[in-house]
């Protein structure tokens, strides 16, 4: 059997098409969605991510402001800028690119962002809302995974889902989102004994670990749905996921590729959260 390849580029295009209509409706009411992106330091990968986000905003008709700060900027200056953005009515979303330089406490920075502008969904209030099933902003990567699963009409209720990885930005919110859709969810970590026994019992496997080709075909139930969140370079410098795509695609029913799977959805869901935030602000008058 060869799996259906779940195309994140195509799903992303479709979601962005729907967003364009929502942006147009806001603009007709005199509201242009606005996103502020803050980059502290000179991490080259972060710089690329931030530029891609700003470019995606421009393509979607979202106003964006990009603030670049040197690595030795004080935490107080970063917090002061966040407070100014919290109070700026033209800004509906605030994103601080991670990682931050070590002298800046990431928890303090995330806590300073007004929850109603927390479009990354990393504020504890956003994570709490997700856990309690209340409206808030969902972290973009797992939210993008849900969009892919829905696009391919993957049934979730009553299915066994295994999430490999428990980070606050991917694994844990992913598990909560699947649970919220009535999947029976298992979370595996580096401490899990016999990972393969868990993944082989799963109808849906989401891998978010950061280890090249960790999940191989022999660890997957025939016909299962496999989602690869990982972004890694292998020993040859090739961009690969956490899933051994070649062996898994021969066993699974559906699989996401890397690149071209979950990656494109992350920025798209950031845009979606920014538009949602602008809609909420417009509705609140
Ligand atoms: P973290 O390093 O924060 O978390 C990794 C998780 O994997 C931890 O919970 C860890 O367990 C677990 N783990 C490590 N080794 C194993 C193992 N052998 N078996 C089972 N679990 C294991 O990573 P992130 O969640 O931030 O990112 C995961 C991957 O996803 C990375 O490759 C990252 O680049 C990618 N990513 C991709 C995004 C996208 O847009 N596509 C966005 C965000 C991340 P423990 O907690 O016990 O240490």
User: Domain ranges in the chain?
Assistant: 29-124, 140-264
8 A C-beta contact, residue 171 and residue 163: yes
CA–CA dist 261, 59 (Å, integer): 20
Residue 263: per-residue pLDDT = 96
Q: What is the pLDDT of residue 285?
A: 77
Question: What are the two backbone dihedrals, phi and then psi, of residue 172, each rounded to the nearest 5 degrees?
Answer: -65, -50
**Beta strands across the sheet bearing 225-228:** 4-5, 254-255, 225-228, 204-207, 160-164, 184-188
Half-sphere exposure (Cβ direction) of 44: Cα atoms closer than 13 Å: 0
**Token pair recorded at residue 274:** 């920014």
Between the CA of 198 and the centroid of ligand 1 the distance, in Å, is 17
What the block records as the tokens of 16 is 């962005």
Let me know if 138 is a catalytic residue.
no
CATH number among 3.40.50.880, 3.40.50.10860, 3.40.30.10, 1.20.1060.10, domain 29-124: 3.40.50.10860
Residue 153 annotated as catalytic: no
The CATH number of 140-264 is 3.40.50.720
- Protein residue closest via CA to atom 47 of ligand 1: 190
Residue 97: active-site member: yes
Which residues does the chain have with pLDDT short of 50?
none
Say yes or no: do domains 29-124 and 140-264 share a fold: yes
Q: What is the pLDDT of residue 129?
A: 97
Between helix 262-284 and helix 8-28 the angle, nearest 10°, is: 20
CA of 68 to the centre of ligand 1 (A): 27
> How remote is the C-alpha of 275 from its chain's centroid?
16
| Closest residue CA from atom 4 of ligand 1 | 167
Catalytic residue among 118, 120, 203, 242: 120
The alpha helices in the chain, defined as continuous H runs, are: 8-28, 44-60, 75-86, 106-112, 124-132, 140-151, 171-180, 195-200, 245-248, 262-284
């Amino acid at each position: 059997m060869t799996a259906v390849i779940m195309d994140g580029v195509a799903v992303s295009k479709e979601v962005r098409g729907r967003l364009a209509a929502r942006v147009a409706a806001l603009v007709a009411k005199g509201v242009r969605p606005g996103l502020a992106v803050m980059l502290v330091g000179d991490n080259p990968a972060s710089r690329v991510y931030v530029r891609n986000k700003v470019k995606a905003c421009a393509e979607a008709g979202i106003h964006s402001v990009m603030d670049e700060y040197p690595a030795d900027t004080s935490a107080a200056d970063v917090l002061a800028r966040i407070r100014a953005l919290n109070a700026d009515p033209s800004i509906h979303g605030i994103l601080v690119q991670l990682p931050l330089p070590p002298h800046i406490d990431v928890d303090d920075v995330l806590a300073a962002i007004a929850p109603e502008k927390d479009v990354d969904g990393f504020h504890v209030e956003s994570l709490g809302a997700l856990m309690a099933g209340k409206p808030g902003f969902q972290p973009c990567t797992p939210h993008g995974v849900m969009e892919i699963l829905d696009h391919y009409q993957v049934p979730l209720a009553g299915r066994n889902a295994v999430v490999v990885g428990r980070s606050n930005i991917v694994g844990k919110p992913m598990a909560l989102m699947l649970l919220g859709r009535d999947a029976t969810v298992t979370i595996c970590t580096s401490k899990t004994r016999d990972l393969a026994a868990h993944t082989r019992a799963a109808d849906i496997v989401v891998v978010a670990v950061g280890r090249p080709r960790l999940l191989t075909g022999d660890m997957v139930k025939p016909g299962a749905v496999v989602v690869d969140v990982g972004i890694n370079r292998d020993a040859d410098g090739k961009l690969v996921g956490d899933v051994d795509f070649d062996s898994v695609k021969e066993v699974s029913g559906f699989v996401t590729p890397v690149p071209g799977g979950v990656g494109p959805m992350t920025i798209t869901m950031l845009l979606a959260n920014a538009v949602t935030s602008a809609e909420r602000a417009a509705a609140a008058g």
